[in-house]
Amino acid sequence: MLDVQDLCKSFDKKPFLTDLTFQVAAGESLVLVGENGAGKTLLLNILATLVEPTSGSVSIDGVDAFANLKQVRPSIGYIPVGFDGYPELSVMDYLNFYAAAYKVEKRGRTDAIDAVLELMDIQHLREVKIEVLSTGEQQRLLFAKTFLHEPQLWLLDEPLTPLDPNGQVETIALFSELQAMGKTIVIATNRLDDVHRLCSTDAQDKNYVGILSDGQFAVFKTFRELREANTEAEATETLSPEGLSKLLAQDSHSD
């Protein structure tokens, strides 16, 4: 579904991403890991067609994304870190605005909005202004907005960070449901414990971990491959952040 070939991005002739090639199919996920400044958010912005690469290509469902922006953008759902824009609107007005932008039919718009409000359990906030919502409530609203146009490709930057523990559990379950629906998911995170929580599902062979270092993938493997490379993890079917960190370090030194 997502096919990236020889992707490079430079600013003022300084390379930030170099020769990235990878694929993520329908029903698969990729969790991007790396230090601050490693290029995770930059890569998400390129995949969202918000930043054009210096060279290389991004294809979505076999369509060159940057040569066909109008065609591919409806299939992309991007949730950046933090909430941006329209704090003076109510939740209902905000969703109405985006439903119109996504060309949701007017006669079915109210039902569509009610459905995403219920899905994200924020029906009680429909008349509340965005500026007074908590960070977690704003995150739920971003998910609700994204569900309106039912994208195939989901791009998420630090999606668990703003949420309380209960919200994180619900969001991880939501990702599993999206995968079961055949969606393609790319998530960026700085937190190794999030990698385990996002990837240790029944679909471990469909959950990829990519660690970015110096603009390239030092590691790109399925979570199952990473777990089975660790004897303790293989025995317990868990992979701690410490174990993951050691495996990532070993692989990055061996490449």
| pLDDT tens digit sequence for 61-89 | 999 999 999 999 999 999 988 887 789 99
pTM: 0.88
Q: What is the mean pLDDT of the chain?
A: 87
The pLDDT score that the predictor gives to residue 235 is: 39
Q: Mind giving me the DSSP string for the chain?
A: -EEEEEEEEEETTEEEEEEEEEEE-TT-EEEEE--TTSSHHHHHHHHTTSS--SEEEEEETTEETTT-HHHHGGGEEEE-SS--S-TTSBHHHHHHHHHHHTT--HHHHHHHHHHHHHHTT-GGGTTSBGGGS-HHHHHHHHHHHHHTT--SEEEEESSSTTS-HHHHHHHHHHHHHHHHTT-EEEEEES-HHHHHHHH-STTGGGEEEEEEETTEEEEEEEHHHHHHTSHHHHHHT---HHHHHHHHHHHHHH-
The pLDDT score that the predictor gives to residue 67 is: 97
In this prediction, residues 152-158 reach a mean pLDDT of 95
Confidence of residue 255 (pLDDT cuts 50, 70, 90): very low
In this prediction, residues 108-122 reach a mean pLDDT of 93
Q: Residue 253 pLDDT > 70, yes or no? A: no
The pLDDT score that the predictor gives to residue 230 is: 65
